[in-house]
Amino acid sequence: MNKSCLLVGYFGFGNLGDDLIAEITADILNQNHHTISILRYQPMKIEKKIKMHGYPSRDLISIIKAIQSSDTIIFPGGSIFQDRTSLKSVFYYTLICVFSKLFRKKLILLGQGIGPLHSLTSKVLTRLSYTLANMISVRDHSSYMIIKNWKLQSKTKQVPDIVFSTQSASLLQKQIDIPQVTSDLIFILRPIPQLNHQQNIQYFSSIIKHLQTYKLSIKFVSFHKSYDSDLYESVQKHLSLKIPIEYPASLDDIRALYKNASHIISTRLHGGILSLTHGIHPLLIHYDDKITALADEYHLSHISTNHATLSADDVHILNKYLQSNAFISPTNTKKIQLSHNLIKKAIQENLYLLDKQVP
């Protein structure tokens, strides 16, 4: 039966990872013939592609109208219940959950990452939102342990991030296509919250200096232009270099960029996930638990951000990564094959949950 589904999240702000979550979820729902609408800050390309209705996410009347017009309210992913940036977002998303239940709508929290939650108010509101949900899935073990502490595990599953579904149609049928051998390196930066601006410049500059010792064509890829661009420009100015910067706005843009890459270094979670789904093991720069969780679960190399320069251990890890074949292949080690299987499982679980909760 056709259902009307409203997507809720940090959408339309120019953050590629969050916007891809919306695009992928909408595409899956559209394939199953559901009517889709979305709360977003500004219009998105996906609205025309799938012909879904967009509502302004900062207008209370529009929010209420969007909820009333829908059968099912879906939060399809991201770490939206967190107070590292502000308490406002926790209040905002809790309000939408409360309105959803007041209007007797089905509420699905799909592929969520919980936290960080520092204040008691954030913890109380987030727990309320999760209690109101009909179904919950979280994308990492630490989020699941929070759910368990709240005694909500009976309606919760742990499944990987929905961005793992980017190759859903092909990956369920065959192995990931092996990219052509190239010497292109994609570097996805974002400011590290634990470092100040100058320390961020020094840290990423030290990595690029090391990359220059290899015969690699380096390309910057920004997942959030308004948030990242100052860092990209400052690093280039510091090094007196001109490195190409790409600003992908869709999954098609990402596929075109990743197709020619031999190695990918990512400070962003979804940059790493997309690397895996496109057949390349990334090197992750970890600054919080979600990056560490991805590295641990998929057995990925990673370097730390404990200091404003690379440590000797980090240099060793970086060298080992750059000197290796990063392509995922059925003939590679059992560790790589495990990642293949985990990716396929992630896709199947995400598709299953969406089909089950929106019949």
H/E run at residue 55: strand 53-56
Q: What is the mean pLDDT of residues 48-72?
A: 92
Q: What is the mean pLDDT of residues 119-134?
A: 96
Same domain for 334 and 213: yes
Q: What's the token pair of residue 164? A: 């793992």
**Separation in Å, CA 109 to CA 131, 204, 238:** 11, 35, 43
From the list 70, 43, 71, the residue with the least C-alpha distance to 55 is 43
The values of phi and psi at residue 188, to 5°, are: -105, 110
Whole domain around residue 351: which residue ranges?
A: 4-163+346-357
pLDDT tier at 51, thresholds 50, 70, 90: confident
Looking at the predicted structure, is the pLDDT value of residue 142 above 80? yes
Residue 170, domain member (yes or no):
no
- What letter does residue 179 receive in the DSSP assignment? P
Residue 178, domain member (yes or no):
no
Same domain for 352 and 320: no
pLDDT tier at 100, thresholds 50, 70, 90: very high
Residue 169, domain member (yes or no):
no
Residue 76, domain member (yes or no):
yes
What pLDDT is stored for residue 158 in this prediction? 87
Q: What is the mean pLDDT of residues 24-50?
A: 86
H/E run at residue 176: none
Q: What is the mean pLDDT of residues 127-132?
A: 97
Residue 108 near residue 54 (C-beta atoms within 8 A): no
Residue 122, domain member (yes or no):
yes
Looking at the predicted structure, is the pLDDT value of residue 292 above 60? yes
Same domain for 265 and 140: no
CA atoms within 13 A on the CB side of 208: 25
Residue 174, domain member (yes or no):
no
Q: What is the tally of structural domains in the chain?
A: 2
Same domain for 157 and 196: no
Looking at the predicted structure, is the pLDDT value of residue 171 above 60? no
Better-scored residue on pLDDT, 291 or 176 = 291
Same domain for 123 and 234: no
Same domain for 86 and 17: yes
pTM for this structure? Answer: 0.86
What is the chain's mean pLDDT, rounded?
A: 85
Query: Cα angle vertex 278, ends 41, 325, to 5°?
Result: 135
pLDDT tier at 169, thresholds 50, 70, 90: very low
- CA pseudo-torsion sign 289, 290, 296, 299: negative
